[in-house]
Amino acid sequence: MKPAKDTPLSASMAHYSKGGVDIVDPRENLKRYVYSNVYEIGARAKPYEKIAVAKNGPYVIECVVAEGAMAQWRLQPHDEFIVCLEGEVRVDFIEPRAEIAAGAHTDVPGESMGYIIVCEGNLCLLPKGMAYKFSAGKRSLLLQQAKQSDRTIFAWETICEGWSGKG
């Protein structure tokens, strides 16, 4: 969407226009900026892949496309957060009856806590120790504030400008 005086430039998985990095000093390296675009990544990603777009120590920001229902419940021993960038996502919650391992689970014995509808521009808490499952009627895009897990996909060569195979 084009900017107006009262509306900033915006984008979607169908329509995005990337900026870029112009290297001025030849000693500088484009790779250092780890430059990507989440709408571009979202347009190509499979539903519920957790693709890292940023990493700082053990922490990551993951780009997640929600479409249909997530196959498994997920749970972490720490809080996580999602920001919805496009579409609308339902998050169902179960409070486990007993402590269960972090990660993905097909079934979570426990008490249903209900659900939250997360719309574009909303920030939602995924509380620690609470199992959650995403679902979306149409393809939607999330950013997830998380810690690196065995489900995190690192694909810098594919998503970043100036890495091999791109830019």
**From the list 22, 99, 101, 106, which residue makes contact with another protein (rule: CB under 8 A)?**
22
In the block, tokens 């659900």 appear at: 115
Q: Which residues contact 162 (CB under 8 A, 6 or more apart)?
A: 21, 29, 30, 31, 33, 35
CA distance 88 to 111: 24
Residue 33 binds to another protein (criterion: CB under 8 A): yes
Q: Is 165 in the site for another protein (CB under 8 A)?
A: no
Q: Which residues within the stretch 52-111 sit at the binding site for another protein (CB under 8 A)? A: 52-57, 59, 61, 78-81, 83-85, 88, 93, 95, 111
Give yes or no for residue 7 binding another protein (CB under 8 A).
yes
Q: What are the backbone angles phi and psi of residue 131, rounded to the nearest 5°?
A: -75, 140
Q: Which is nearer to another protein, 52 or 70 (CB)?
A: 52
- CB closer to another protein out of 28 and 107: 28
